[in-house]
Structure 1
C-alpha cells in the first residue's frame, strides 16, 4: 500500500512545484488587473485564470479554456501563452496540442479583432508568432523530458544488466570452485577414508586399528560436510538439505572428536546450552573448531580448555591451550584460519581476539550477541 503524499501527484509529489505553479498563477492574474480599475468581470477573469494555471501541469487544456474565458472577461494575453506552453510541454506534437493551439489562436484573433472596432487587418496574423513561440518552447521541453526519461531508462537497464552479468560471473566461479573441490579434495579424502577403513580391518595392532577407525570416521564426516559445502556453492535447490548445521549444541560432539584423536580437551558448558540464532551458533562452532585445530597444529599434546559462557545479552567462547611439550612437532598452516575466523565472527555481529598468554600458551576469545 502506497503512503499518501503530502502533495498530489499532479506536481510530482514535490512542494516546490506546487509553490511555483501557485506563485506563477498568482503573478499572472495580478499583472492582468493591476493597471486597471477593478470590475466584477476583471476580478472574475483573474480568478478563473488563476484556477486554470494552478492545474496546468495535469490539465493543460483546462488551463487553455480558463485562459480563454479570462481573456473574454479581461483582454490579457499572458495567461493564454502560459497555457499553450503547458499543453505542448505535456502532450508533445499530438492532436491535443494542435487543438489547444488553434483554440488559443482563434480566441486571440477574436479579442484583437474586437478591440480594433470589429475590423480585421492582415497585420493581425502576427499573433500567430505569439502563439507559435510558446508552442515551440513547450515542444522543446517535451522532447527534453522524453530524452532524459529515455537516458534514465537506459542507465537503469545498463545497471540491471551489469548486476545480472556480475551474478552470472559469481555463479560460474562458484560452480568452478565446486568442481575443483569435488575433483580434488573429495577424491583425496575418499582415498584416505578407504585406506583407513582397510587398515582398520587388516591391522593386528589394536591401537593402530583404533587410530585408523578415528581417521576413517573423520574422513567420512569431512566428506559429508564437503557435500553440504558443494551444495551451497552450486546453489542447488533440488539437493537434499544438510544433515546437520553446526551450532553450539554440537560443540560437545566436536570436543569428543578431538579427544578420540588423542587430544586432551576439557569442556566447560553451562547447564543449558544457550539458544542463539543460526548465524551466531554456526560462527561459535567454527571458532571452537578452528581454535582446536590450531592448538593441535602448533601445540600438539598440550592440554586445551574450551569454555562456553552465556548471559542475558551475549555468549562468550574461550579456547585456551597450554604451551607445547619439549617434543614439539609443529604443522605448517595456511595462515588463513584466523583471518577467516575474524571475518565469520564479524558477520555474526561479534568480536574476537587471539594471542599468546603470559604462561606461553595461546588464547582465542570470542563474544557474540544473543
Structure 2
C-alpha cells in the first residue's frame, strides 16, 4: 500500500491555479522523457527480443506514464521486464518513484522484488558456465540496480519532507511574530487607555465640579449660563472619554449615558458655540435614503471641529453651516464656511492645539466612504466641506479630493 507525501509530485490533494497547472505540465514532460529513454533502450535490443520480452516490455513502457499515480502497481508491471534482461531502465525509475512516496516497509518489499528480478535475469543467462566471480558480479549488479534507485528515492523523499517542515516552521514563525506584534499593540492600547483615564478624566472632573459650583454661587445669569455650558461639555467629554477608553481596552461595555452624537443636536451645538453662526439644517432625506451611524457621527464631528477652529483662528467672524442632502439625493453635504476675522476683535487667550483636527476629519470622512475638502476662500475666510454617502445609494470609498 503506497502513501503520498504533502508537497511531493505524487500529492493527489486538489489544487488549482496557474502554479499547479505549470507543475502538472512539467511532471508530464518528465514522464514523457523517461518513457522515451526507456523506449530507446528497448529499441537497441529490438532484434534480440524473444516472445516473453515482446509481451512484457511494451506494457512496462506505457505503465511509466502512470507511475506518479500508481507507483507500486507500475513497479510490479515493470519487474517482469527486468527479469527478462531486456528493459532495466523502466523498473529502476519505478523503484525510485516508489521509494520517494511510500512507506519503508513498501520500499523494502519493492526493493527485494526488484533485487530478485535482477538476480533472475543475471543467473538465467548461462548459469552452468558461470563462475563464482560471475555470481558475485550478478549480486553486485542486482544490489546496485535495486538499492541505487531506492536510496535516491528515499533521499528525494527526505528532501521533500525537510522542505515542507521548513515551510511550516517559517509559517509558524511568521504567525508568532504577528501574535507578538498584536500583543505589543494591545499593551500599548491599554497603556494609552490608562493614561487617558488617569490624567484627562481627572482634569475634566475638576472642570465639571468647579463649573457646577460656579453655577450655584454666581449671581449673574450670564455667568450661570456659561458655567452650565462648561459643566455640560465637561460631562459630555467625560462620557465620550469613557467610551474611547472602553474601545482601547477592547471592553464589551460601552458608555451610553453621554450626549448622543446626532444631527438633530446640531442646533444645540451651534447655540452653545456662542459664535455668529447661521445654521441651515435639512434632515428630510429622499425616500429610501438614510444615514448610518458612521455618516451621522462624521457630519456632527465636522461641524464641531470647524466651529472650534473658527473660535481659535477667526473669532468674531460670521459662520455659515449647511447640512443637508445633495441635489441628487445620494450624499449628505456638510459645509462650514466662515469669513475673515474682524480686525477690531481682540485676540483671546491661546488655546492648546494638536494640529490634527482637519486630518482627523478627513480620515473619519474617508472611513465613512465620503470625500473631504478644506481650504482658504478668496475672501480670506475658510471653508470645510464633506460629502458623505447615504444608505440606499451606491457607496464606494473614494480618495479625498485636493
TM-score, with normalisation over the residues of structure 2? Answer: 0.80
Match in the other structure for 2:4? none
For the Cα contact (< 8 Å) 1:306–1:318, is it kept in 2? yes
Match in the other structure for 1:201? 216
Match in the other structure for 2:380? 360
For residues 200 and 59 of structure 1, do their structure 2 counterparts lie closer, same or farther at Cα, with a shift above 3 Å needed?
same
For residues 352 and 49 of structure 1, do their structure 2 counterparts lie closer, same or farther at Cα, with a shift above 3 Å needed?
same
For residues 240 and 30 of structure 1, do their structure 2 counterparts lie closer, same or farther at Cα, with a shift above 3 Å needed?
same
Match in the other structure for 1:96? 106
Match in the other structure for 1:4? none
For the Cα contact (< 8 Å) 1:44–1:70, is it kept in 2? no
- For the pair 1:10 / 2:12, whether they are aligned, the reply is yes
What displacement does 1:108 show?
1.6
For residues 16 and 43 of structure 1, do their structure 2 counterparts lie closer, same or farther at Cα, with a shift above 3 Å needed?
farther
User: CA offsets, 1:321-354, max 9 Å, x none?
Assistant: 1222221425442211122222333333333221
- Range that drifts further, 314-323 or 170-179: 314-323
Q: Distance in 1 between matches of 2:191 and 2:54?
A: 79
For residues 104 and 283 of structure 1, do their structure 2 counterparts lie closer, same or farther at Cα, with a shift above 3 Å needed?
farther
- For the pair 1:122 / 2:136, whether they are aligned, the reply is yes
Q: Distance in 2 between matches of 1:219 and 1:113?
A: 103
For the Cα contact (< 8 Å) 2:334–2:385, is it kept in 1? yes
Match in the other structure for 1:284? 299
Match in the other structure for 1:19? 28
Say which SS state the counterpart of residue 297 (structure 1) adopts.
Answer: helix
Say which SS state the counterpart of residue 365 (structure 1) adopts.
Answer: strand
The 5 Å alignment of 1:265-304 reads 265-273=277-285, 275-304=290-319
Unaligned runs of at least 5 residues, structure 2: 1-8, 391-402
May I ask how many residue pairs the two structures share in their alignment?
A: 360
For the Cα contact (< 8 Å) 1:48–1:69, is it kept in 2? no
Aligned CA-pair RMSD: 2.9
For the Cα contact (< 8 Å) 2:84–2:121, is it kept in 1? no
What displacement does 1:197 show?
1.2
The 5 Å alignment of 1:222-233 reads 222-233=237-248
For the Cα contact (< 8 Å) 2:298–2:368, is it kept in 1? yes
Say which SS state the counterpart of residue 115 (structure 1) adopts.
Answer: coil
Unaligned runs of at least 5 residues, structure 1: 1-6
Say which SS state the counterpart of residue 124 (structure 2) adopts.
Answer: helix
The 5 Å alignment of 1:1-370 reads 10=12, 13=15, 14=20, 15-20=24-29, 22-24=31-33, 26-28=35-37, 30-35=39-44, 36=46, 45-46=56-57, 48-50=59-61, 52-71=63-82, 75-91=86-102, 94-116=104-126, 121-127=135-141, 128-237=143-252, 239-240=253-254, 242=256, 250-273=262-285, 275-308=290-323, 309-310=325-326, 311-325=328-342, 326-329=344-347, 331-332=350-351, 333-370=353-390
For residues 365 and 79 of structure 1, do their structure 2 counterparts lie closer, same or farther at Cα, with a shift above 3 Å needed?
same
Say which SS state the counterpart of residue 307 (structure 1) adopts.
Answer: strand
For residues 246 and 47 of structure 1, do their structure 2 counterparts lie closer, same or farther at Cα, with a shift above 3 Å needed?
farther
What displacement does 1:33 show?
4.2
For the Cα contact (< 8 Å) 2:85–2:122, is it kept in 1? no
For the Cα contact (< 8 Å) 2:10–2:69, is it kept in 1? no
Say which SS state the counterpart of residue 334 (structure 1) adopts.
Answer: coil
What displacement does 1:86 show?
1.3
For the Cα contact (< 8 Å) 1:89–1:139, is it kept in 2? yes
What displacement does 1:84 show?
1.4
Say which SS state the counterpart of residue 360 (structure 1) adopts.
Answer: coil
